């Protein structure tokens, strides 16, 4: 009571001019707390609206919450998600970038930015933000996968391979425990990643490693249908036509036949001199949607159809497909070789020479002496 009496006496005896110099902190704190309370109420209501699919209403409430509390981190996140779901990807990006400014170490925000930029096909930005996430936590497999996908879209297969190695936790393509050959060093969940890594090895011309990973993937998951198509494509460029047909048959039996499978099958039949069977396979390929594989591999799709059209003497169409294959994979040695051969038939000696020289360089660079010599022989013939 005594303390209260002294306080009352202080206010009674102190002039008003002096009291006016003291800041009204209790009132300001109360006002700030009230604003935060109202912002939280709006935030909760916005979350409910967003969960119910009322994104416009949710965004309106998130806006009001942020106006009351400009540093409301969770409200920016909620609004970003509502904007994403409503199709406003740029708005969602702006919100996530504001979250980075408030707190720059949230790996989930960097991951979300990477996913949004992937939807916008801005692959360099995907790499920027996924790298920021991985710099803070290098064990995030989903983020490694996203960055690898962006790098593949940019044709940077070497760096994408590093991400797949990180996902699998190993670099070597060996697939069995040496003490017990029946026990794989990988789990069935690794099969899709092994198949994707095999495709990268294939694109880099590292065929031994590619085949080992394809074999591992299919041993772990025999129903991984798209891996049969990719392995068939690999065996086709290696000239193993019978093994190519085995993989095509396996995909067809698994009810996973795509245009790619039938084009590869037709090309293998053509190479074996089975022209009627090749034509039948090509007809089945044309009847299916082009490029409808579960996981896109556009360079393989266009190369297979280009070969089929070349075999059928559809030269302009074949040339267009080789162009597309090389757009998706600018280091596709086999596509350069075949396009160079096609240009010879079109009497484009200058174009043929450029393509065959490029093929020779790529084959030689990966240690493929047989195909490098084939390309060099045609180059020498053109230069005489």
Residue 309: which pLDDT band, with cuts at 50, 70 and 90?
very high
Burial 59-91 (b: 16+ CB within 10 A, else e): bbbbebbbebbeebeebbbbbbbbbbebebbeb
Task: pLDDT band for 170, please (50, 70, 90 cuts).
Answer: low
Handedness of CA 369, 236, 223, 139 (dihedral sign): positive
pLDDT at 31: 61
Assign 32 a pLDDT band (cuts: 50, 70, 90).
Answer: confident
Query: 378 and 318, same structural domain?
Result: no
Is the CB of residue 223 less than 8 Å from the CB of residue 255?
Answer: no
Q: Which residue has the higher pLDDT, 33 or 379?
A: 379
Whether residue 138 lies inside any domain: the answer is no
Task: Average the pLDDT over each of 84-88, 123-127, 290-294, 299-303 and give the range with the smallest value.
Answer: 290-294
Range of the domain at 290: 184-330
Gap between the Cα atoms of 61 and 75, Å rounded:
9
Residue 171 lies in a domain: no
Confirm if 221 and 250 have CB atoms less than 8 A apart. Answer: no
Query: Within this chain, do residues 211 and 323 fall inside the same structural domain, yes or no?
Result: yes
* Same domain for 347 and 297: no
Which of 235, 314, 243, 242 lies closest to 272, judged by CA?
242
- State how many domains the chain has: 3
At 184, is the pLDDT very low, low, confident or very high (cuts 50, 70, 90)? low
What's the CATH code of the domain at 90? 1.25.40.10
216 plus 281 within the same structural domain: yes
Domain assignment of residue 121, yes or no = no
The pLDDT, as a whole number, for residue 18 is 44
Task: Please tell me whether residues 265 and 358 are part of one structural domain.
Answer: no
Q: Tell me if residue 273 falls in helix, strand or coil.
A: coil
Return the pLDDT at 185.
77
The mean pLDDT of the chain is: 89
Residue 251 in domain: yes
Q: What is the per-residue DSSP string for 164-176?
A: HHHHHT------E
The answer to whether residues 222 and 244 belong to one domain is: yes
Give alpha helix (H) positions in 288-332: 298-311, 315-328
What is the distance, to the nearest Å, from the Cα of residue 250 to the centroid of all Cα atoms in its chain? 27
Q: Examine the domain organization and report whether 207 and 313 are in the same domain.
A: yes
pLDDT at 175: 46
**Nearest in space to 376 (alpha carbons), one of 367, 368, 361:** 361
320-344: per-residue pLDDT in tens?
999 999 999 999 999 999 999 999 9
- Please check whether residue 161 lies inside any domain of the structure: no
339 and 325 within one domain: no
Q: Does some domain include residue 113?
A: no
CA distance 42 to 312: 66
State the Cα–Cα distance between residues 236 and 233, nearest whole angstrom: 5
85-138 pLDDT tens trace: 999 999 999 999 999 999 999 999 999 999 999 999 999 999 999 999 999 999
Last residue of some domain: 330, 346, 374? 330
285 located within any domain: yes
211: number of Cβ within 10 Å: 20
């Amino acid at each position: 009571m005594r303390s209260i009496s002294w306080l009352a006496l202080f206010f009674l005896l102190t002039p008003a001019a002096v009291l006016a110099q003291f800041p009204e902190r209790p009132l300001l704190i109360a006002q700030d707390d009230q604003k935060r309370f109202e912002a939280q109420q709006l935030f909760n209501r916005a979350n409910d609206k967003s969960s119910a699919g009322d994104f416009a209403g949710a965004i309106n409430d998130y806006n009001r919450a942020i106006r009351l509390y400009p540093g409301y981190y969770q409200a920016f996140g909620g609004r970003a998600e509502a904007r994403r779901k409503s199709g406003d990807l740029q708005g969602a990006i702006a919100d996530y970038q504001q979250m980075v400014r408030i707190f720059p170490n949230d790996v989930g925000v960097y991951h979300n930015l990477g996913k949004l930029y992937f939807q916008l096909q801005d692959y360099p930005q995907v790499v920027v933000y996924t790298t920021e996430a991985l710099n803070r936590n290098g064990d995030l497999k989903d983020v490694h996968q996203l960055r690898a996908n962006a790098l593949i879209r940019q044709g940077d297969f070497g760096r994408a391979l590093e991400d797949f190695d990180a996902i699998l936790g190993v670099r070597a393509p060996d697939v069995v425990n040496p003490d017990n050959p029946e026990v794989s060093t990988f789990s069935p969940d690794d099969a899709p990643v092994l198949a994707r890594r095999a495709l990268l090895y294939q694109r880099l011309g590292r065929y031994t490693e590619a085949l080992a990973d394809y074999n591992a993937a299919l041993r772990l998951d025999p129903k991984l249908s798209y891996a049969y198509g990719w392995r068939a494509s690999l065996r086709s460029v290696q000239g193993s036509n019978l093994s190519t047909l085995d993989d095509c048959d396996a995909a067809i039996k698994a009810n996973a036949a795509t245009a790619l499978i039938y084009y590869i099958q037709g090309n293998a039949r053509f190479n074996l001199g089975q022209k009627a069977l090749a034509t039948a396979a090509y007809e089945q390929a044309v009847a299916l949607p082009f490029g409808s594989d579960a996981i896109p591999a556009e360079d393989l799709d266009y190369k297979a159809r280009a070969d089929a059209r070349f075999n059928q003497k559809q030269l302009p169409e074949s040339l267009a497909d080789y162009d597309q294959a090389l757009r998706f994979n600018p280091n596709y040695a086999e596509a350069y070789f075949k396009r160079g051969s096609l240009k010879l038939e079109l009497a484009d000696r200058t174009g043929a020479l450029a393509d065959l020289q490029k093929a020779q360089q790529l084959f030689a660079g990966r240690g493929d002496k047989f195909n490098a010599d084939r390309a060099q022989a045609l180059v020498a013939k053109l230069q005489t």
